[in-house]
Structure 1
Amino acid sequence: MTLDASSRRGKLYRVVAVSFGLLCILQAAVNISLRLSLYSSSTKIIKYLTEEGEDLKRKLSILDHYLQQGWVYSNNSFYYNSSNQKSWQESRDDCRQRGADLIIINSKGEQDFARGFKRLTWIGLTDRETEGKWKWVDGTDLKTSYWLTGEPNSNGGREDCGVIWSYEKENSWNDTPCTEENFWICEKMVA
């Protein structure tokens, strides 16, 4: 073997060794990058799950709080049915003090739910502002109604507040003087 061939072979070994060394460094860099990326993703996932768990705990705490105060949960709202009787305005004031308002009935399901309390109860419906133009306490116009046959009749302009009059019939609303004392249902929407 000549010196020239030996020298070339030595250079070749050095190139292979340097290349192998660079390949090892590149592999280490890729491994570190992947681990950091995986760690970052894992950290994000853990943070997300922790936040979701905290949100669920908060929601359960709110639910427990309302249930302990006598509220009933149904279809994204809490409902409170009073144990005493007051005028329509006093009933509404009580609901507002509870962070709610008188019930707004938006569906047949909610109508059936409200009738399920099985008592004469104020609802958040009035035509005190304009006779014959019934509005809910949130200012929206009445679109779907469940009036008893012949109602609302206003009885000479003296009946301006809505009440569930009969729990035995689907169409169970009546207009009655707002000064009468009845039970009431508060509704608090869940965000």
Structure 2
Amino acid sequence: MDLETIYENVKRRGIESTTGSQTQTHGGSRCLVLITVGLGLICVLLLVFIILLHITITAERDLIKSYKNTVEEFNQTINSLQDNYTDLMTEKHQLQNNFNSLNKKKLELESKVTSLSRFFISTELKSWSDSRQYCRDRGADLVIINTEEKQRFISSLVSERVWIGLSDTENEGIMKWVDNSTLKQGFWLKGEPNNTNNEDCIELNYNRGKPGWSPLNSWNDVACSEKKKGICEK
């Protein structure tokens, strides 16, 4: 082989070698670019993920905070309602007690009104028998007093001496009421009855404020012909 041929072969191989190196260099650069782009995309995606995660965590934190605030407000509302309920129950009990007290007074007043409607005092001065007839003409009779409570009540109604429905006109010393029942408990003035001058009819002696007088010591026997008003009971 001559020198010219050898030179041509070496030259050709050199060109092929350079071309291959250039080809390999271009391929490596392309891979590096692709890797760089990929890493960039991954970084972008990671950044987006981190941002979204931060937003989500922040939103959840705000939601939890809002929930806690709502729970606290709800608990405060419950406590306030409980206090209001307790106050209302206390007020209810007070109102119930007031109502019961007022109802009791109402019943007492009704009882007094009922009692008052049963009693009336004659408007004319008459003897015991005429006063009794006055009562009977009006569907009543002279009052019968057989309890301490009734004696006190009748005493509170009068402001003068009045006839009551008690006498011993039939049998001296045996006091009987107008319904023919025998006297069991009397409310006499001191020293009465004394039957002075044939005193057979009984008056309720009004001497309120005088020494020795009391609602439970106010009966006196007098002559049945004396003129005075009578207290009638229906």
Q: Which band: TM-score by shorter chain?
A: 0.5 to 0.7
Instruction: Tell me which residue corresponds to 1:42.
Output: none
Task: Give the TM-score normalised by the residue count of structure 2.
Answer: 0.47
Amino acid aligned to 2:232: C
Instruction: Tell me which residue corresponds to 2:222.
Output: 176
Deviation at 1:166, TM superposition (A): 2.5
CA contact under 8 A between 2:122 and 2:135: conserved in structure 1? no
Instruction: Tell me which residue corresponds to 2:231.
Output: 185
- Name the structure with the higher strand share: 1
- Name the structure with the higher helix share: 2
Deviation at 1:108, TM superposition (A): 1.4
**Is 2:131 aligned against 1:91?**
yes
User: Aligned equivalents of 1:94 and 1:73: distance in 2?
Assistant: 21
**Is 2:207 aligned against 1:161?**
no
Deviation at 1:115, TM superposition (A): 1.2
User: Aligned equivalents of 1:95 and 1:139: distance in 2?
Assistant: 16
Match of 1:138 among 172, 179, 182: 179
Task: Give me the identity figure in percent.
Answer: 48
Q: Secondary structure at the match of 2:118?
A: strand
Superposed CA deviations along residues 37-93 of structure 1, whole A, max 9, x for unmatched, are xxxxxxxxxxxxxxxxxxxxxxxxxxxxxxxxxxx6318x70011222100000000
Match of 1:80 among 120, 136, 151: 120
Amino acid aligned to 1:123: I
Deviation at 1:167, TM superposition (A): 4.7
Deviation at 1:126, TM superposition (A): 0.3
- Structure 1: gaps spanning 5 or more residues: 1-71
Instruction: Tell me which residue corresponds to 2:93.
Output: none
**Is 2:195 aligned against 1:150?**
no
**Is 2:145 aligned against 1:105?**
yes
Instruction: Tell me which residue corresponds to 2:164.
Output: 123
Q: How many residues align?
A: 115
Moved over 6 A (4+): none
Measured on the aligned residues, the alpha-carbon RMSD in Å equals 1.5
Q: Secondary structure at the match of 2:131?
A: helix
Amino acid aligned to 2:122: S
The structure with the larger Rg is: 2
User: Aligned equivalents of 1:167 and 1:124: distance in 2?
Assistant: 19
Specify whether residues 148 and 124 from structure 1 end up closer, same or farther in structure 2 by C-alpha distance, changes over 3 A only. Answer: same
- Structure 2: gaps spanning 5 or more residues: 1-112, 209-213
Deviation at 1:107, TM superposition (A): 1.2
CA contact under 8 A between 1:120 and 1:164: conserved in structure 2? yes
Higher RCO structure, 1 or 2 (CA under 8 Å, sep 6+): 1
Amino acid aligned to 1:159: E
Deviation at 1:109, TM superposition (A): 1.6
